[in-house]
Amino acid sequence: MKLQSAAAYLAAVSLLVEDCNAYSNSIGSSKTSFVAQNSFQFGLWKGANNNNNKNNGALQMYLTSSTTSRSTTSSSTKTKDVTKLGDLLIPSLGCGTISWSSNRLTELENWEIRSLISTACSENAAFFDTAERYGGNIKTALGMGWGDTERMLQKHLSEAQVITSSSSGNSKTNANNNKKLLDPIVATKFTPSPWRSSAQSVVEACEQSRIRLGVDQIDLYQIHMPDIVQPLKFLGMGDNKDEMYWDGLAECYHRGLVKNVGVCNYGPTLVMKCQEALARRGVPLASNQIAYSLIGRHNGAQETVDKCNELGVKVLAYYPFAMGLLTGKYSSSSSSIFADASASPSRKTKLEKSDLQKYKIDPLLTVLERIAEKRGKSVAQVALNYIICKGAIPIPGSRTEAQFVENIGAMGWRLTNTEIAMLELEADELSVGFDGAGFKRTSEKFVGYGVEKWRLD
């Protein structure tokens, strides 16, 4: 960790000098002393022993310099901050739906979510990530909510009068303002389980998801996790079905049920194996969804992002806020003026809140707050933008329109290399990585008979 921090420090110094030199050149040679003065000041960041003063030199220099201007972009994303995923052009930030639930036990109705979806479509930010097993109310806990979130998404997309058919193409014109808008993109997932023991089971599940979503083709169909649910493994009767599921994905693709296929929670080795297996059947691997954030780059996460970027496989990042830690909600100074709509209201359990408060990240939050102040953004928006800058697509969950609007404020601008280096330097200094809270973990899942784990290796 020390070597990593030292390398990050040297990189940060180099980048800061580079930025300062650029600024110096822009204002003339008479100001060249600015570089030396502030490069020395940056050294104070590492030179102070008192944690309360550790960042004062660098942060003060950062705040008073002109190398990074305050963001002037509004929350509107009609300028299309987009990226490529497979053959799709999609927003650079998605919307997770795992926490969605109906306001009624017997009907799929939620007016807040309907407003969220309508806003997403009008703001060129309609990329929704769901799954067949998602459903936020008591029915899911009792095993009866299977597919509810997919159905709710379809219902409210239709009510928002948005074209979801693949025959419409991937863009349209808003009749009210003549703006070119992207069609909504929907990703869903197949859940591996012991009773799904063939490639045909993937095809059948895909057909059901396609019907619930009301589309001819699913934009992105993903395997939710490696085949870790092995209840008889302790008896030596484990039967890994990953390759069988990959065949199922390929069959879905060739039958025209899906436009793109992806996986979730795969490390570099499994991603390469899957990509090679699909390639033999003429199917490209479009995406890999993993837990990834500024404090979630350990345990193979960063290596996975790097390998996926190298292979042309887009990473979707869940837990981009580290369950709220990177919004400042669970810090010792949670009353900060930088609190935002992404941080509330909370539905976390007492156990989750207790675990989250064990993560001591106040020094990192200080840097996030200063960058947010400089940029005219929120801490949460800076945390999301960091992920975009690393080549991944953050998938923050949103239950309300206000949360969603807050999140898409991370689009339309980018952190500088210096800011990224500052954040990584401080995050590495924490010597702590986010692994989850309560029963929600980044690399394990409770599966009824116990807990099963996976590794990003």
DSSP for 320-378 reads: TTTTTGGGTTTSTTTT-TT--GGG-S----HHHHHHHTT---HHHHHHHHHHHHHHT--
CATH of the domain at 213: 3.20.20.100
Higher per-residue pLDDT: 310 or 26: 310
Is 420 inside a domain boundary?
no
Q: For the residues 211-238, what does the mean pLDDT come to?
A: 88
18: pLDDT confidence band, cut at 50, 70 and 90? low
Is 103 inside a domain boundary?
yes
Interval 415-433: pLDDT, tens: 999 999 999 999 999 988 9
Spatial distance between the Cα atoms of 315 and 284, rounded to a whole number of angstroms: 14
Residue 60 pLDDT more than 90? no
Q: For the residues 126-149, what does the mean pLDDT come to?
A: 79
Q: For the residues 233-261, what does the mean pLDDT come to?
A: 91
Q: Cβ(383)–Cβ(346) under 8 Å?
A: no
Q: Cβ(432)–Cβ(361) under 8 Å?
A: yes
Q: Which range, 260-264, 335-339, 447-451, is most confident?
A: 260-264
Is 354 inside a domain boundary?
no
71: pLDDT confidence band, cut at 50, 70 and 90? low
Give the lowest-confidence range in 47-51, 176-180, 453-457: 47-51
Domain hosting 259: range is 81-165+181-322+391-397
Interval 287-338: pLDDT, tens: 999 999 999 999 999 999 999 999 999 999 999 999 999 998 876 555 443 4
Answer left, alpha or beta for residue 104, where phi above 0 means left and psi between -120 and 50 means alpha. beta
Quick one: what percent of the chain has pLDDT higher than 70?
71
pLDDT at site 412? 97
Answer left, alpha or beta for residue 256, where phi above 0 means left and psi between -120 and 50 means alpha. left
The model's pTM is 0.84
Is 50 inside a domain boundary?
no
Q: For the residues 277-290, what does the mean pLDDT come to?
A: 98
Give the lowest-confidence range in 66-75, 115-124, 173-182, 242-251: 66-75
Is 74 inside a domain boundary?
no
Residue 41 pLDDT more than 50? no
Residue 120 pLDDT more than 70? yes
Helix (H), strand (E) at residue 125: none
Is 19 inside a domain boundary?
no
Q: For the residues 66-73, what does the mean pLDDT come to?
A: 53
pLDDT at site 79? 53
Residue 345 pLDDT more than 70? no
Interval 83-112: pLDDT, tens: 999 999 999 999 999 989 776 666 677 889
Is 259 inside a domain boundary?
yes
pLDDT at site 161? 59
Q: Which two tokens stand for residue 422?
A: 């500052």
If you average pLDDT over every residue of the chain, what do you get?
81
Q: For the residues 178-189, what does the mean pLDDT come to?
A: 85
Spatial distance between the Cα atoms of 246 and 113, rounded to a whole number of angstroms: 33
Count how many domains the chain has: 1
1: pLDDT confidence band, cut at 50, 70 and 90? very low
Q: For the residues 149-168, what does the mean pLDDT come to?
A: 72
Q: For the residues 252-261, what does the mean pLDDT come to?
A: 98
pLDDT at site 223? 98
Interval 352-363: pLDDT, tens: 999 998 999 999
Is 136 inside a domain boundary?
yes
Q: For the residues 66-76, what does the mean pLDDT come to?
A: 51
Q: For the residues 394-410, what does the mean pLDDT come to?
A: 96
Helix (H), strand (E) at residue 3: helix 2-27
